[in-house]
Structure 1
Amino acid sequence: MNQNIVKTKLSILIVLYKRHYKDSAAITTLLNNVDCFQGKGVAVEFFVWNNTPECSPELIKDSLTWLVGENNGLSEIYNAVADKAFAGGATHFMISDDDTDYSSHNYVDAVVSALEFEAASPADTYGVMLPKIYSGEMLVSPGERLWFLGRLSSAVNAGVNSSINKLAINSGVIFRKSCYEKMSPLFDERLKFYATDTAFFVRYESFYSHFYVLDTALQHDLSEHTSDSPDRAIFRFQEMIRGFRVIFERKSFLFRGMMETYLAVSALRKSMSYRDMGFLSSYFSSFKE
């Protein structure tokens, strides 16, 4: 093992939402990997942010800090815990949803290999490392961005990849300390839940031209997003409108005009699909905010 990574301290944040910690795939599988990480010279500490305290009691473990909120925005949570982690001596900081599965047989080896590569690379080569994430058989992260729209990639190679016009899901992303120092605060706290990852990676590409893709594949269930109730779907659409306008606020008039056209058409289509005029109402009322 490359001795350069012996002093690595990886702080991991898992945001727990509407579930007991025993039912969290992320908590269960990451805790199972602690001994393997430590055996390879990587110290690991955990932060669990319980965003719905009524759904789970506290989990008491060594090197685990239990934090409690009341449905705080994700950007706020990520920034607050990143500050705690790096102030506490972390060299790397990882964020995760509670339902990402890290039981892949080579996950730890993939992270350690990336750390060994990093030790021999300039600090400004890239700022984050991220896994390939699948929902079933479909690769969902990292993906591509065309203007304001995300698109799936058919395949992604492990190793250093261009970050230009690329997107990724937040879950599983590992931030280097140099990235934190350069980009802090990492996330735009005007965004609460939707588009926090899009906002980060759009901004990220102005700081770093590349990111590192881990040579591992993780599972993350996106099925809940395809079975939203009308009220939940309207909420997500409202968040999407806000997200787009914040992320692309400095773009050209033409860009923003096309974006607004897309949002208006989406509102109409969703209203017809769900048979609920709440989508159109949300779009037009958003101009009053």
Structure 2
Amino acid sequence: MTQNIVKTKLSILIVLYKRHYENSAAVTTLLENFDYFQGKGVEVEYFVWNNTPECSPCLVRDGLTWLEGSNNGLSEIYNTVADKAFAGGATHFMISDDDTDYSSQNYVDAIASALEFEGTSPADTFGVILPKIYSGERLVSPGERFWFLGRLSSAVDAGLNSSVNKLAINSGVIFRKTCYEKMSPLFDERLKFYVTDTAFFVRYESYYSHFYVLDTALQHDLSEHTSDSPERAIFRFQEMIRGFRVVFERKGFLFRWVMEAYLAVSALRKSISYKHSGFLRSYFSSFKE
């Protein structure tokens, strides 16, 4: 059992966006865990993709590869670095936003426990390991899916969980090499910034019956989404429209009809809430794309 842990190589990707690396909770807390990972027999390497080079200088450190782009789509970034990581001998690959906090005292211990469990379970039982993520006191991941809508769960048990009609946010998800080999490319590059996680987990449930939830709680700030400018909110809505249509393109007529009705009503409600007609214009113009 211990031998399985010793052979583990975890590659961690942090996507930096409009932030100096010194102000990234993910960069600082994950780097602080380097020695602890090593002490648990987990070889760890870091990739930082700076998606806005004008906002941060390069971070030079042993075991860290600094990559840069100019607002590249997240799906493209995840797939590109996953290929690099697994080609370089990784057994596991983790992705993270720059504002997730990994300072939980038992975070590395929880990963070590998951790896021990992994060594005793069939390879096709689960393909990803993910943490419980909170925004303040509210559990935001993993959650439930009802048709095309995500819903929060009041609680999630650590360990194996059914993957059917479940969702999770991307940040903190750890992919096993077997998952990469089955599902590569992991992410649909038609999707750039939003709905990438929904697309992955909708597809994931057709490959794996379960995922593994770490016995740890992490903090991830979602407050920025509640204070969007109208322009930013319109962009997010446009991405949601495109994302839903890509993710659920193979569903039946009734499913897609209900989804389109939901999007139309959402466009109207958002136009009223923001006092901006851009949401309705975005919805109707999306049929011309």
Whether TM-score is above 0.5 comes out as yes
1:29-76 deviation per Cα after TM superposition (whole angstroms, max 9, x unaligned): 000000000011000000000000000000000010000000000000
In structure 1, C-alpha distance between the alignment counterparts of 2:117 and 2:208, rounded to whole Å: 17
1:20 alignment partner in structure 2: 20
SS in 2 for 1:130: strand
1:240 alignment partner in structure 2: 240
Q: Sequence identity of aligned pairs in percent?
A: 85
2:78 alignment partner in structure 1: 78
1:57 alignment partner in structure 2: 57
1:103 alignment partner in structure 2: 103
TM-superposed CA distance for 1:3, in Å, is: 2.5
Q: Give the aligned residue type for 2:195.
A: A
TM-superposed CA distance for 1:4, in Å, is: 1.9
1:160 alignment partner in structure 2: 160
1:141 alignment partner in structure 2: 141
Q: Give the aligned residue type for 2:99.
A: D
2:280 alignment partner in structure 1: 280
1:183-207 deviation per Cα after TM superposition (whole angstroms, max 9, x unaligned): 0000000000010000000000000
In structure 2, C-alpha distance between the alignment counterparts of 1:3 and 1:203, rounded to whole Å: 32
SS in 1 for 2:126: coil
In structure 2, C-alpha distance between the alignment counterparts of 1:213 and 1:4, rounded to whole Å: 19
2:256 alignment partner in structure 1: 256
Matches within 5 A, 1:177-188: 177-188=177-188
Q: Give the aligned residue type for 2:193.
A: F
Do structure 1's residue 268 and structure 2's residue 268 form an aligned pair?
yes
Q: Give the aligned residue type for 2:72.
A: N
In structure 1, C-alpha distance between the alignment counterparts of 2:3 and 2:266, rounded to whole Å: 53
1:121 alignment partner in structure 2: 121
In structure 1, C-alpha distance between the alignment counterparts of 2:201 and 2:209, rounded to whole Å: 11
SS in 2 for 1:156: coil
SS in 1 for 2:188: coil
2:29 alignment partner in structure 1: 29
Corresponding residue pairs, total: 289
1:181-239 deviation per Cα after TM superposition (whole angstroms, max 9, x unaligned): 00000000000001000000000000001000000000000000000000000000000
In structure 1, C-alpha distance between the alignment counterparts of 2:4 and 2:210, rounded to whole Å: 22
TM-score (norm: length of structure 2): 1.00
State the 4+ residue runs in structure 1 displaced beyond 4 angstroms.
none
1:106-125 deviation per Cα after TM superposition (whole angstroms, max 9, x unaligned): 00000000001001111000
In structure 2, C-alpha distance between the alignment counterparts of 1:209 and 1:165, rounded to whole Å: 11
In structure 1, C-alpha distance between the alignment counterparts of 2:3 and 2:257, rounded to whole Å: 53
Q: Give the aligned residue type for 1:179.
A: C
SS in 1 for 2:287: helix
TM-superposed CA distance for 1:2, in Å, is: 2.0
CA RMSD between the two structures: 0.6
SS in 2 for 1:127: strand
TM-score (norm: length of structure 1): 1.00
In structure 2, C-alpha distance between the alignment counterparts of 1:123 and 1:69, rounded to whole Å: 35
In structure 2, C-alpha distance between the alignment counterparts of 1:233 and 1:286, rounded to whole Å: 16
